[in-house]
Amino acid sequence: MLSYSLLRVVLASTFVLLFSACASLPADVPRTESKALTDTSSTRLGQGVGELTRAHPNLSGIRALPVANEAFAARILLARAAQRSLDLQYYIWHRDTTGQLLWEEVWRAAERGVRVRVLIDDANTGGQDAMLATLDAHPNIELRLFNPFANRGFRAGDFLSDFRRVNHRMHNKSFTADNQVAIVGGRNIGDEYFGANMEVGFQDLDVMTVGPVVREVSQEFDLFWNSASAYPGASLLPPAAPDGVAQLQSSWEANRRRDEAREYIETTSRTPLVAEVSQGKLDFEWTTAHVLHDDPAKALQPVERTDLHMLPRLEKALGRPDRELDLVSPYFVPGKDGTAGLSALSQRGVKVRVLTNSLSATDVAPVHAGYAKYRKELLEAGVTIYELKPGVAVPPPDKESRPHGLPGSGSTGGGSAASLHAKTFAADRKRIFVGSFNLDPRSAQLNTDMGVLIDSPKLAGQLSSQLDSRLPNAAYLVRLTPQGDLEWIESDAGGQQTIYTSEPGASGLRRLWVDFLKVLPIESLL
């Protein structure tokens, strides 16, 4: 056994080694400013979009993408159709089946001469530096890392020495082709977001857009791309390996040969979206829509700088609801101010309804602990709360009656651990927001986010109608007993109800863990 003195020496030496290994970000990094290409009306996408927009002047076309593999197909189709540019901005890009398939299409676009700009948050790129360096070395691909980790091999070092900075992340998600068509929403790039993971799947929502709102998406991308927090890949990544391209192409070929990939590709190729595109019959709703986003400086400035924050912009744009407010947020931590605001709405007669994950469905237990502290107060004020059941994946209806844009209507690939991931809010069945913003302190104060606010009684009404019709079977209704205790009501298709007096579907150990997390002062990090 080590003596106490020797143990102190060992610990001190360990910390010295840890901090001596901590690197710092490169200073005075040269950043060549670039902007979205504007002369793209002659491209295939530009000509097709031009025909549509001329019939709907000053309006944007919106097509909701609630079905997982259709959302993936839309990105593949745009990557293949692009002739001038691809601008891609993501929080997560996994190196899994769908991630590799999409990287391969991006590479092929670059090989055709398409200018590709990829902006990825650096929080989830661990172990991918060699691949990213090879991609960045392509003459037509430029990759930048947002708020990067200086310690490429030992990221914990940044958490130890620079926690305040690296705790801020870019949560934005957009995919823009030729500055003519853009996809914005809640999905990252990865199997669980596109229905290719048979063990876990996220029910999510994106919108595909054309028209004036696409220019706003591109302006948002340019703002982040040229910001001080976006570091050129070459300033941080190792030099590309001499055989890097060969290794990438070999891994892509092996990925496509896998049974799971072949089956997913085949299933995706048969989706209604692909058929509609091939037949030239892709439908859009024409309306007004605007992009809302944080300022990238939010990653550098103190949280008190609320003028950099998206939340007050979203509240102003969404407007004051008169009759109904429907909130769908997988990570819902309203905090004291949010709880007071929702309670005040409810008490003045607005029907406020919240859909979030149950404890058994959530993938982040600490967030559930933060939300659970406010659940009773919200219920006392008359707010209606539903919590999604674990493993529920509501199948999409037939093509004719498909309720475009509704969370939970898309297949998750049969996943046994389906979890809500869509972030969407509707006011008075008139206006709807779709994007990456969660109703939690992290989105409000720490991360940057973006989304599209759409004036659409159709989409907003469909969201509310689906909540009306499907929630009783897809989610637990949380309510208060006459004694003031919580209970969860589960209804089956036949109308039979089961009442639970504790978090349904969660083990005693998981409930105990959440009870412990409730007392920790971690809400500002959630």
Sheet containing 141-146: give its strands across: 230-232, 141-146, 115-121, 85-90, 174-177, 181-185, 206-210, 60-65, 285-287
| Alpha carbon distance 11, 9 (integer Å) | 6
| Alpha carbon distance 135, 244 (integer Å) | 9
Phi and psi angles of residue 432, each rounded to the nearest 5 degrees, phi first:
-140, 140
Spot the catalytic one: 293, 423, 430, 458: 423
Q: What is the distance of C-alpha 270 from the center of its chain? A: 25
Spot the catalytic one: 178, 204, 440, 449: 178
Spot the catalytic one: 421, 430, 440, 449: 421
What are the distances in angstroms from CA 259 to CA 11, 70, 98, 156, 206? 49, 20, 13, 36, 27
Spot the catalytic one: 94, 168, 173, 298: 173
Which helix (H) or strand (E) segment holds residue 50: the answer is helix 44-54
Spot the catalytic one: 87, 94, 96, 171: 171
> SS3 for 348?
coil
423 included as an active-site residue: yes
| Alpha carbon distance 129, 95 (integer Å) | 12
Half-sphere exposure of 59 (CA within 13 A, CB side): 15
**Single-letter code of the amino acid located at 344:** A
430 included as an active-site residue: no
173 included as an active-site residue: yes
Q: Which two tokens stand for residue 119?
A: 């902006």
Phi and psi angles of residue 450, each rounded to the nearest 5 degrees, phi first:
-155, 165
178 included as an active-site residue: yes
Q: Which two tokens stand for residue 108?
A: 């092929």
Torsion of the alpha carbons at 151, 98, 169 and 210, rounded to the nearest 10: 140
Spot the catalytic one: 428, 430, 449, 458: 428
| Alpha carbon distance 237, 148 (integer Å) | 11
CB 335 within 8 A of CB 374: yes
What are the distances in angstroms from CA 199 to CA 194, 195, 267, 361? 13, 10, 18, 13
Which helix (H) or strand (E) segment holds residue 119: the answer is strand 115-121
Strand ranges (DSSP E) for 187-293? 201-203, 206-210, 230-232, 285-287, 289-293
Q: Provide the angle, in degrees to the nearest 10, between the axes of the packed helices 68-81 and 44-54.
A: 110
CB 337 within 8 A of CB 374: no
| Alpha carbon distance 29, 490 (integer Å) | 56
Torsion of the alpha carbons at 363, 369, 374 and 376, rounded to the nearest 10: 90
| Alpha carbon distance 12, 119 (integer Å) | 39
CB atoms within 10 A of CB 343: 20
Q: What is the distance of C-alpha 87 from the center of its chain? A: 17
Residues with a catalytic annotation lie at 171, 173, 178, 421, 423, 428
